[in-house]
Structure 1
Amino acid sequence: MDGELCRAPVSPAEVPRLDPDAWEVRRRRAVRLAANHRAVGAEQPPTSTVLLDIGGVVIPTLFESVAVPGFPGGPFAGEGSYRDVEQGRLPEREYWNRVAQRHPQLDIGMLWRACSQVRGEIRTLIVQLGGRVRLAAFTNDMSHWFGEQWQGRFVELRAFDVILEASRLGVHKPEPEAFHAAARALAEPAARILFVDDLAANLDGAESVGMQTMLFDVLDPAGSVRRLLARVGSPAEAHGPAAARVFRVTR
């Protein structure tokens, strides 16, 4: 990251190191076992897929990562126009267009590219979810800011089973059809998908099609991850490592 433009990331004291190659093996086991459950009609767990928003959840908001003097504070400053984004009254891209108009010296796309990395808390989440649920991500239009090859910028995304981009599906969050399209792409009943986003309006769209939802509080990312782990069963809350697993892996 560019030290003059970007803040140093704030991460948990100990962030697990991810080995994407080892994760690929575990990912394939979980997906294969999930498919077997569906094929034989076995009873499914309440949550079998966790679907994470990317900008704001997997990677921090620009309000967290940009160090440029005078940059807006969004939810950290109680900014009224950003509340319009959170409530669905203003599209997020339009919000950033207005910021760029007020601050023509800023290149918003460049700031996203220069200052973005996966949250340390999300790296921890990836490790602790391993083998318990299928992990997917759902963004509106990362390609707009990062270019067509954006997935390659974040090695941690290799640990995800599916990456969905709403703009490629022809519809955007928070429209209900975006979530119908996501459920179809995941080949998963909406009721078994837990969708996590930092914008309440997007949660409304997911709930309208029957998905479970959870608000990711960017003011408390560590607490948000703890709440998410509690929803799906984390190792610390189970009677043993296998007890929390949705998909048990025979070794």
Structure 2
Amino acid sequence: MRAVLFDFGGVITTSPFEAFHRFERERGLPDAFIQGINRSNADDNAWARFERGELTAEAFDEAFAREARAAGHDVRGLEVVELVYGQVRPRMVQAVQRCRGRFITACLTNNFRNREALTAATDLASGTARDREWRDALALFDQVIESSKIGARKPEKAFFELACNRLSIEPAEAVFLDDLGTNLKPARLMGMRTIKVTDPDAALAELGNLLGMEL
């Protein structure tokens, strides 16, 4: 094993789905309403195009709102975007630190262009402190592979091919941690070892066993 690859949201940070569920309860929306929109036409909906860097924040805000209205409720895109920014998990950060030097470390993330503009657009009071925490975590990786910069997103095969090319590795030389099975499946089919992160402690125990080290 030469490389350890981590998803960001839901692995390095707490799961955005927790925030989605809170938002839905507070707004009186059906359970899993947001996930339902994002799963509909999953390769070409507003969320997918935004993650590939094909839409500006303003265009995404409108496109998502149209999809939400078509599903029966009024939700703006930028309202949902702000929910994805979870809290950094210290144990995951520690795991990255322990892997550094012994393995190639990379963050493979679906994200959005112009994080600062998004924060300003939603007037997030705690943005500065949280952004600093995120930057510190991301700085630990040898490389950060971002969907919005490479024009491909997980679970697209092209995303993983580009990641392997940038890291100069073969898929079989990597283990990949993600909280979504849909993202893990194509990586596994390419030859990567995969770990689904539902319980962070259990995932780190599995990773430690695979790497032969204490995490």
TM-score (norm 1): 0.58
Tell me, yes or no, if the aligned pair for 1:109 and 1:145 is still in contact at 8 Å: no
- Match status 1:63 vs 2:17: yes
Distance in structure 2 (CA, Å) of the matches to 1:137 and 1:158: 10
Find the structure with the greater CA-based Rg. Answer: 1
Residue 139 of structure 2 aligns to a residue whose secondary structure is: helix
Taking a change above 3 Å as real, the CA distance of residues 131 and 143 of structure 1, as seen in their structure-2 partners, is: same
Given candidates 128, 139, 143, the residue that maps to 1:158 is 139
The aligned residue for residue 210 of structure 2 is: 231
Output aligned runs, 1:5-154, within 5 Å. 47-65=1-19, 67-68=22-23, 70=25, 79=32, 82=35, 90=42, 93=47, 97=64, 101=69, 102=73, 104=75, 107-113=79-85, 116-143=86-113, 153-154=134-135
Taking a change above 3 Å as real, the CA distance of residues 151 and 80 of structure 1, as seen in their structure-2 partners, is: closer
Aligned residue type for 1:202: N
Residue 229 of structure 1, CA deviation: 1.8
Aligned residue type for 1:138: L
Distance in structure 1 (CA, Å) of the matches to 2:84 and 2:37: 21
Residue 106 of structure 2 aligns to a residue whose secondary structure is: strand
Deviations 1:164-204 (A, max 9, x none): 11232222211112111110011111210111111111111
Deviations 1:17-38 (A, max 9, x none): xxxxxxxxxxxxxxxxxxxxxx
Tell me, yes or no, if the aligned pair for 1:109 and 1:146 is still in contact at 8 Å: no
CA RMSD, aligned part only? 3.7
Q: Which is richer in helix?
A: 2
Distance in structure 1 (CA, Å) of the matches to 2:74 and 2:118: 26
Residue 122 of structure 1 aligns to a residue whose secondary structure is: helix
Residue 80 of structure 1, CA deviation: 9.0
The aligned residue for residue 198 of structure 1 is: 179
Tell me, yes or no, if the aligned pair for 2:97 and 2:140 is still in contact at 8 Å: no
Distance in structure 2 (CA, Å) of the matches to 1:57 and 1:176: 20
Residue 112 of structure 1, CA deviation: 3.4
Aligned residue type for 1:204: K
Q: Percent identity?
A: 26
Aligned residue type for 1:137: C
Distance in structure 1 (CA, Å) of the matches to 2:115 and 2:32: 23
Residue 146 of structure 1, CA deviation: 6.0
Distance in structure 2 (CA, Å) of the matches to 1:229 and 1:49: 13
TM-score (norm 2): 0.66
Q: What stretches of structure 1 of length at least 5 have no aligned partner?
A: 1-46, 73-77, 237-251
